Amino acid sequence: MVKQKRIYLSSPHMSGNEQKYIKEAFDTNWIAPLGPNVDCFEREIAAYIGTKGAAAVSSGTAAIHLALQLLDVGRGDRVFCSSLTFIASANPIVYQGAEPVFIDSEPDTWNMSPQALKRAFIEAERKGRLPKAVIVVNLYGQSAKMDEIISVCDAYNVPIIEDAAESLGSSYKGRKSGTFGKFGIFSFNGNKIITTSGGGMLVSNDEEALEKARFLATQARDPAPHYQHSDVGFNYRMSNILAGVGRAQLEVLDERVKSRRTIYKRYQAALGGIEGIDFMPEMDGTMSNRWLTALTIDAHIAGISPMQMIEHLAKDNIEARPVWKPLHLQPAFEGAAYYPHQAGVSISDHLFRNGLCLPSGSNMTLEEQIRVIGGIMELFAKVEVTRALGLPVS
């Protein structure tokens, strides 16, 4: 049998306008370093989300690393971080020689639990070891409970880094995602809602800090005719070519958000009635870009586990994935402190065990969306038939 065309979880979706900006860069030989596309892309992102400024860098990870450096996070310090996220949220904590402390999710947004965060702060204060920063993630495009989280962090005067790598274009109470912390970060990795093939952005209202970030991201070169460095910096700036790709991608961001939300709505309309399936919620007052459609399957009710579903779809060349494995369960962070939502109740463990992400790319055709939905329904139909015949459901 000829294999069907592969359907990816989230693949790059070009607008067609990227070549225009790349050509401009070539025509003016502004290949490197930096250049007008970088300056424009920074201004355009800042204008889109509503911050005073932005600094374009080589990845979302680099943006988090710079934010930690700017907040003076160093050896022996602690940083609180969402547990249910991609490992890049926390790796820069370790680059700085600091120690991550992981905070569980709550069920309404799947993001950082304000009550777990509060417990972590109370204990940290008692031990005289308050964190230097809190990294809050907006999973799959859904904003965390920002009001509650900000109120806890403000009470201890600890700055927030908003990891909005997955939530560009989303909003919380009418305000754009990425604007809630002292710093926000975005990623333009190939699988994100818009891409520069690889890249990231640090955003803030503190323009002085952003200027310092640009300085640190270009090897911390002091103003001198010779090569003079008073600081150890990084090589983290975005290239002028890639910023050109980003400018064209940003022009279609709102369309991309719309497409992904439409895909989610179709999944929800077709599958929402199946017993045991629950889609990732969208909290009142928030608008998620639905970067990835995520859901949980209760295997006891549905008769199917998420892994069975993933394997079933894989047979038809469809990529589905489990929800991020929580960082407190990662071997790389063995021994790190962890604060569950409630004593003995870890929401992120539950979401990891029962969750999966469906293909959600804005370039998926309607036919491809129907293929995914059909594949899922087929597996549920098999379970129905098995049950109707009185046979055991494996």
Ligand X SMILES: *Cc1c(COP(=O)(O)O)cnc(C)c1O
CA distances for 73 relative to 158, 186, 211, 324, 360, angstroms: 12, 20, 18, 26, 36
- Residue 189 or 204: which CB sits closer to ligand X? 189
Question: Which structure tokens are listed for 92?
Answer: 């820069």
* CB of residue 54 to ligand X, shortest distance in Å: 15
DSSP 360-371: --TT--HHHHHH
- Residue 137 or 376: which CB sits closer to ligand X? 137
* Angle between helix 253-271 and 366-388 (nearest 10): 20
Catalytic residue among 118, 132, 182, 192: 192
The Cα–Cα gap between 54 and 46 comes to 6
* CB of residue 338 to ligand X, shortest distance in Å: 18
* CB of residue 357 to ligand X, shortest distance in Å: 12
Question: Which structure tokens are listed for 267?
Answer: 């999944």
* CB of residue 200 to ligand X, shortest distance in Å: 5
**Residue among 358, 324, 319 at smallest CA distance from 87:** 324
DSSP state of 186: E
Residues that bind ligand X (CB under 6 A): 59-61, 85-86, 88-89, 137, 163, 165-166, 187, 189, 200
Q: Are the beta carbons of 149 and 131 closer than 8 angstroms?
A: no
- Residue 84 or 248: which CB sits closer to ligand X? 84
**Residue among 200, 197, 188, 204 at smallest CA distance from 236:** 200
User: Of all residues in this chain, which one has the CB nearest to ligand X in the complex?
Assistant: 60
- Residue 163 or 319: which CB sits closer to ligand X? 163
The Cα–Cα gap between 184 and 188 comes to 14
315 catalytic? Reply is: no
Question: Which structure tokens are listed for 165?
Answer: 């790598």
- Residue 137 or 242: which CB sits closer to ligand X? 137
* CB of residue 50 to ligand X, shortest distance in Å: 21
Residue whose structure tokens are 């700036």: 237
Active site residues: 192
